[in-house]
Amino acid sequence: MKFINSGFFDRAFRVLLGTGLIAWAFFTNEWYKIPLFAIGCIPLVTGIIGWCPIYSVLGINTRFHAHKK
């Protein structure tokens, strides 16, 4: 797909980070529970779909492409 601009390791890190933040939000009773959940959703969603809007604006692409000979 043309719109995917995140590589495998980048996506895996984002999914792990987002999952960790969301889990932390579920197990805490502090005032930052809802912001922590909301912030955790951002890397989780961008990791799942493989598209980062900031990468698109900056022209960054971490996806490895197979070279055709």
Buried b (16+ CB within 10 A) or exposed e, 17-35: bbeebbeebeeeeeeeeee
Say how far apart CA 49 and CA 45 lie, in whole Å: 6
pLDDT value, residue 15: 98
Cα 5 versus chain centre, distance: 11
| This prediction's pTM | 0.84
User: pLDDT by residue (tens digit) across 10-66?
Assistant: 999 999 999 999 999 999 999 999 999 999 999 999 999 999 999 989 988 998 875
Is the sign of the CA dihedral 53, 56, 60, 62 positive or negative? positive
